[in-house]
Structure 1
Amino acid sequence: MNEKNFEYLRDQVKYTGFGEGLESELKEKMQQQEPSFSLSHNAHYGTDTATVTLNFKKSDQSDMYFFNSYKVDLQKDNSKESLEQTFYINKGSNITMKEAYNLMEGRAVNKDLTSKEGQVYNSWVQMDFKEADSNGNFKLNQYHQNYGYDLEAALSKHPIKELDTAKFKDDLMDSLKKGNVQSVTFMKDGQEVKHYIEANPQFKTIKAYDGNLKRIDNRQTKDEKQSEGQNTSMKQENKRQNQSAEEDGPAAPQEAKKRKKKQFNSM
C-alpha cells in the first residue's frame, strides 16, 4: 500500500465532511489492492437521514487510489421516497457532506470551483430539481460573479441586528455561503424578533422565515427595515432637540415644539 496515498485520501475524506471514523476501513480496503472499492457513511440532520457511499478507484498506471465521488441517499422524515444525488470530487474545493445536504434541501452554496482549463472561479451553486442527466443526477445551476448577486447588499435591505457587529456579520455571511438556514434577530418596532434566513442568489435576495420557519414576504421585511430606520431617525432627532433645548435655556422648549410640528407636517 502507498502510505502517502493513504494519508492524502484519509485527509481528503475527513475534510469533505466524513470525519475520521472511516480511516481504519479505508486502510484495510487499500491494502486489499482491489481495482475499486466503496465505503459507507451515515449522517443525521435533525430528523433527516443521509446514507452515503464513497467511491474509490485504483489507477491503471500505478498503485495509487483516487476518491472519485460520493452518492447521497437522503431520506426525509416526512417523505416516503428518498432523494439521490452523486457529488464528484474535483481538484481544489469539494462540496462537503453538509453542503451536499443543503443543496439537496434546495438551498444555494457558494464555492470556489475549477474550470476544465484549470482556472479557479467563484460561483453560487443550486440544484435544479426540474432537470436531470442520463444518470438521474439533478443539474447544478451556477450563478457566477458576473451574475451580480451581492449577499451583503441583499442582507442590508433587512433589519438584521447582527449586521451591526463586524464579527457577527462575517460569521453570518460565512454560514449562508455554506447553504445553511441561519437564525438572526430582526428589529421590529424597536423589539427583537427571531427569524431565519437563507441566501437566494437566483433572485438576488435572501429568503426570510419567522420563528416557526414559515416564509415571510420580502416586501414585508423591507418595510420593517424602513420602519426601523424611521424610528431610529426620529429618536436621533428627538435627542438632538432635547440637547438643543438644554443649551438654549428657557426659550428653547417653544422652539423645539415648532420644529417638531414642522417635522410632523413634512412626513
Structure 2
Amino acid sequence: MNEKNVGYLKDQLKYTGFGEGLENVLVENIQKGNLEFKLDHEAKYGTDTVLTSLNFKKSEQSDMYFFNSYNMKIQKEGQPEELSQTFYINRDNNITAKEAYNLMEGRAVNKDLKNKEGEVYNAWIKIDFKVADDEKGNFKLNHYHQNYGYDLEASLSKHPIKELETPKYKEDLINSLKKGNLQSVTFVIAGEERKQFVEANPHFKTVNVYDSSMQRINDQKKKQSESKAQGKDVKQNQDADAESGPGPQKNTKKKKQGNSI
C-alpha cells in the first residue's frame, strides 16, 4: 500500500469537508486492491439529511488511488424527492461539502479558481436548475467572473446592517456569504433592531434579504405593491360607477361585466 498516497487522500477528505471518520474504511478498501470503490458519508444541516457517495479509482499505471468525484443527495424533511448533483475533484478547484450543500440550496459560492493555463481568477458559482449539463442528470454550474462586476460589499452597504459598523463582524459576514451561507444579521430600522437573513445574489448584483420567518423581503414588497395596485383599480372602478349614476339597466350590466373580466 502506498502510504504517501493514503496520507494525501486522507488530507483530501478532511479539507473537502468530510472529516476524519472515513479514514479506516478508506484504508480497508485500498488494501483490498479494488480498481474502484465508493465511501458513504451522511451529515445533517438543520432538518436536511445529506447523503454523499465519494468515488475513488485506482491508476492504471501505478498503485495510486484518486478521489475523483462525489455525488451528493439532499433529503428534505417531509418531502419524497431527493435533489442530486455530482461534484468533481480537481487539485485547485475543489468545492467543499458545505459549499456543495449551499449550491444545492440555490445559493452562490465565491471561489478562487484556475483556468487551463493555470491562471488564477475569482468567480461566483451558482447552479442553474433549469439546465441539465450532462447525460448523468447534473445541473449546469453558472460562473460569474470577476469582470461581471458583482461587488458584495457595495451591495451589503445599501442595507442598514449593524454588523457592517464593526470591521471584524463585517469581514466575518462577507467571508460567510462568499462560502454560500445564509447569514443572520441585525437590521436597524427607525432605531429598532430586527433579526433578518441575507444571502449573496451575484446574478442580479445584489443581496437577498429574508425576515425572521424566512420570508423574502423583496417578495413581500412586491405582493404589497400588487395588492395596492389592485385596490386602486377597484376604487377607480367604484368611483366610475358612482359618477355615471343609476342609468339604464342595460348599461349597468355591461359595466358589471366589464369589471369582472
| TM-score between both structures, scaled by the size of structure 2 | 0.82
Give yes or no for contact 1:208–1:218 (8 Å, CA) kept in 2.
no
Aligned pairs (5 A) from 1:49-128:
49-128=49-128
CA distance in 2, matches of 1:101, 1:77: 15
Partner of 1:3: 3
Q: Percent identity?
A: 65
Measured in 1, the distance between the counterparts of 2:195 and 2:164 equals 14
Aligned equivalents of 1:111 and 1:219: distance in 2? Answer: 31
CA distance in 1 between counterparts of 2:66 and 2:155 reads 40
Task: Extract unaligned runs of 5+ from structure 2.
Answer: 222-261
Structure 1 contact 52–72 (Cα < 8 Å) conserved: yes
**Unmatched runs of 5 consecutive residues or more in structure 1:** 221-267
Q: What secondary structure is seen at the aligned counterpart in 1 of 2:66?
A: strand
How far apart, CA to CA, are the structure 1 residues paired with 2:118 and 2:135?
26
In structure 2, the CA distance between the partners of 1:150 and 1:42, relative to structure 1 (3 Å rule), is: same
The question of whether the paired residues in 2 share the 8 Å contact of 1:207 and 1:218 is answered with no
Change in Cα spacing, 1:219 to 1:170, as seen in structure 2 (3 Å) is farther
CA distance in 1, matches of 2:35, 2:218: 53
1:66-120 residue CA offsets vs partner (Å, 9 max, x unmatched)? 1000001111114211011000001114111111111001000001112222222
d(CA) in 2 for partners of 1:79, 1:117: 44
After TM superposition, give the deviation of residue 58 of structure 1 in Å: 0.7
Deviation at 1:219, TM superposition (A): 11
The two structures have a TM-score, normalised by structure 1, of 0.80
* 1:145–1:63 distance in 2 versus 1, CA, 3 Å: same
Query: CA shift at 1:214, angstroms?
Result: 0.5
Does residue 162 (structure 1) correspond to residue 171 (structure 2)? The answer is: no
Q: How many residues align?
A: 220
Aligned residue for 2:62, secondary structure, equals: coil
Q: Give the 3-state SS of the residue equivalent to 1:152 in structure 2.
A: helix
CA contact (8 A) 1:182 1:196 kept: yes
Q: Which amino acid aligns with 2:32?
A: Q
Runs (4+) of structure 1 exceeding 4 A deviation are: none
Matches within 5 A, 1:241-260: none
Name the SS of the counterpart of 1:214 in structure 2: coil
